[in-house]
Amino acid sequence: MKKKKNILVVFGTRPEAIKLAPLCHLLKKEKKNFRCKICVTGQHTEMLEQALKVFSLKSDFNLKVMKKNQDLSSLTSLIILKIRKIIHKNNYDLVIIHGDTTTSFATALSCFYENIPIAHVEAGLRTYDLSAPFPEELNRQLNSKLSKFHFSPTKENSQNLINEGVNRKNIYITGNTVIDALLLIKKRIDSNKRKKLEVTKSINSYINNDWQNKKFILVTGHRRENFGVGFRNICEAILKISLKYPNINIIYPVHLNPKVKKPVKKYLGSKKNIYLIKPLNYEVFIYLLSKCLFVLTDSGGIQEEAPSFSKPVLVMRDKTERKEGIKSGIIKLIGSKKETIFKNMDILLSESKFINKMKSKKNPYGNGKASKKILNILKRNL
């Protein structure tokens, strides 16, 4: 009789949970082939639980690693030690990690020391600048050195790995699993009137006006490299836009990190057409994303999600590991200087032709079948 393979999926942040949720569901359904367990580190706490709830997932292990004023060294070492305890107690055939987080790198290193194979989802993205994004670029590169299976969203990502000497036989182009998650949620909302009403009611509780009949910009920001001066510039640019365009709403779900929360509330907390709201569950966020004029962000995942709704993205970073979106014309890198951010938003708001020009017909990051491809690869190779 064929032996079931024990698989551990490890993640710690909200984006990881969203991107791995469709794959987790598929693995758990494959009961003849796999015994799948989920371990969360709790690198994000409240935001992570929110994402798990949306996708009806529960963790089997919660490492609860977050502490007040924790630095990267203590976080990394704590994850390594706690993951070691989990994998010592269980005989895992494979551990699956995602992307570029401290959770993914620390898990990969701990598994490497214990000689457990790693599968890296969203492999091969690169800026080749270790300071941007920091520390994510280094995490990603190290994950590639430590992994056996490399699931690359695009051809360009796979080529990066080949150029770095990764064996071609271990690289698989799958598309990005975030598109699987997005299309799953979109279908859930579109096909269920009660769900759509629930989502709109949730938004109404945050925004006390007729937001559905008013144009709005969606903003997200949390990157470490923008802490300090970067966030001050971002806030001042948003404030300037809000004054020039009083009939345009700006909706900003603010990250819970105090280094984000504090400057954002200080500069933007009392403006009538700026709505600083709590981090949204994924269903609500996706619905807002589908309705906005454009997105202003320093995030990675939104660069992949927004093209599914033909929404232009202004990225407040100097470099991105998601170059396909720039090539398609729907994403524009604008950095974090105040005047440049203001100028680019002003261009999109002043003439609709510029927004229309940025819209793409096809999302370069996938068609919603990445998780199924990964599952089939694992069935063939484990």
Enumerate the domain spans of the chain.
Answer: 5-176+367-381, 196-358
| CA 106 to the chain's CA centroid | 18
Q: Give the model's pLDDT for residue 223.
A: 73
Positive or negative, the CA dihedral 268, 274, 275, 281 is: negative
Distance CA 316, CA 235 (A): 12
Residue 1 has pLDDT above 60, yes or no: no
Render pLDDT for 170-185 as a digit per residue (tens, 0 to 9).
999 999 999 999 999 9
Residue pointed to by tokens 């994303």: 289
Active site residues: 100, 122, 136, 222, 224, 255
Q: Considering only the top CATH level, what class is 5-176+367-381?
A: alpha beta
Contact 242, 342 (CB under 8 A): no
Distance CA 88, CA 85 (A): 5
Q: What's the predicted TM-score (pTM) here?
A: 0.89
Average pLDDT over residues 288-317: 92
Distance CA 158, CA 156 (A): 5
Render pLDDT for 12-45 as a digit per residue (tens, 0 to 9).
998 999 999 999 999 999 999 999 999 999 877 7
SS3 state at 273: coil
Q: Give yes or no for a cis peptide into 135 (omega within 30° of 0).
A: yes
Return the structure tokens found at 336. 């974090």
Average pLDDT over residues 353-375: 86
| Fold match between domain 5-176+367-381 and domain 196-358 | yes
Render pLDDT for 304-316 as a digit per residue (tens, 0 to 9).
999 999 999 999 9
Distance CA 126, CA 124 (A): 6
CATH architecture of 196-358: 3-Layer(aba) Sandwich (3.40)
Total count of residues recorded for the chain: 382
